[in-house]
Structure 1
Amino acid sequence: MDIERYLATIDQLCSRPFPAEHGWSDVGPAGPGYFVAELEMSHGLRTADAVERFRTAADFHDVKEGMSQRLNTRWGRQQPPWGTVTLRVRIDRGEEIPEPWATVSHAVDELDVWQADGTGRWIAVGVADRDQEDEIRLLAVVTETAQP
């Protein structure tokens, strides 16, 4: 895993225009006002044993922490880690949550979030490891919509 490459992807997404329609970009899901970049993905963990999955998830979380430290240095610690459980509860109650937050909340339990200086964009990083039957993914969100 390469933190420098991941940060370069975030920087690129901070200056790139958002797509007009929902779909897939070269980095992952995207739509009006957002990108969700799949920076890294595990391979073969859908059928792996729990110990291997746990170790890999821990590695992904370590990389996320390394990225967060670098982004804290760049933009300052914006806020404590932001849990997404309340978003899932709000969705279950019928509240409409804007993208990309609605989709990301189903994959990630906690996000580190910043507002990128001079861009008006919000940046979030997290590890998608909630679904035991899916691969683990390191995600970066770049959006013009503040978290709800």
Structure 2
Amino acid sequence: MDIAKALAVIDRLRTGAFPAEPVRTDVGTAGPGYSIAELETSDGFWEDDGTLREETEEQYEYDRDGLEERLTERWGPPREISLYSVLHRTVEGEDLPEPWASLSGHVPNVRLWREQETGRWMALGVSQWDRELPFQLLAVVTDTDPP
């Protein structure tokens, strides 16, 4: 992963405008009050016996941790929050705000900062929708408080 490029994307998102409707962007997705950047995406694991998947998961967590170090230098230590309770609440039918409701379906936890300059939340997480599908390192910028 190119940390300088990832930081540039995060800086652009944290100061940029959010769209009025959900859209696909040049780096991921965005909607009212949020932007999600797909900083890195692996290959899928359709033919894997589990070894490559484990190695890839470790690499994505390592990349997230490296980026976290840089963001900690800027904004201080993050909070780590589990999105499990958000997933449980959405499955039970509760209408929770985006991006948190969608993220909870494929990102188990995030590292979270409240960026003081803009007042926005900034989160990093490793996503995987299912065992055969790719991993993604995601950066999330939002005005919406975590539920």
TM-score by length of 1: 0.94
Q: After TM superposition, give the deviation of residue 4 of structure 1 in Å.
A: 1.6
- Post-superposition CA distance 1:67-110 (Å, at most 9, x none): 1111111101142x111111111112211110001111111111
Matches within 5 A, 1:84-103: 84-103=83-102
TM-score by length of 2: 0.95
Do the aligned partners of residues 37 and 46 (structure 1) sit closer, same or farther apart at CA in structure 2, a change above 3 Å counting? farther
- Indicate the RMSD between aligned Cα atoms, in angstroms: 1.2
Asked if 1 retains the 8 angstrom alpha-carbon contact of 2:13 and 2:141, the reply is yes
- Post-superposition CA distance 1:26-63 (Å, at most 9, x none): 11111011111101000243433311011011000001
Rounded to whole Å, the distance in 2 between the matches of 1:115 and 1:59 is: 26
Q: What code does the residue aligned with 1:14 have?
A: R
Gaps of at least 5 residues in structure 2 are: none
Gaps of at least 5 residues in structure 1 are: none
Rounded to whole Å, the distance in 1 between the matches of 2:77 and 2:71 is: 8
Rounded to whole Å, the distance in 2 between the matches of 1:2 and 1:14 is: 19
Q: Secondary structure at the match of 1:54?
A: helix
Count of aligned residue pairs for this structure pair: 147
Rounded to whole Å, the distance in 1 between the matches of 2:141 and 2:46 is: 27
Q: After TM superposition, give the deviation of residue 130 of structure 1 in Å.
A: 5.0
Asked if 2 retains the 8 angstrom alpha-carbon contact of 1:57 and 1:129, the reply is no
| Runs of 4+ deviating beyond 6 Å | none
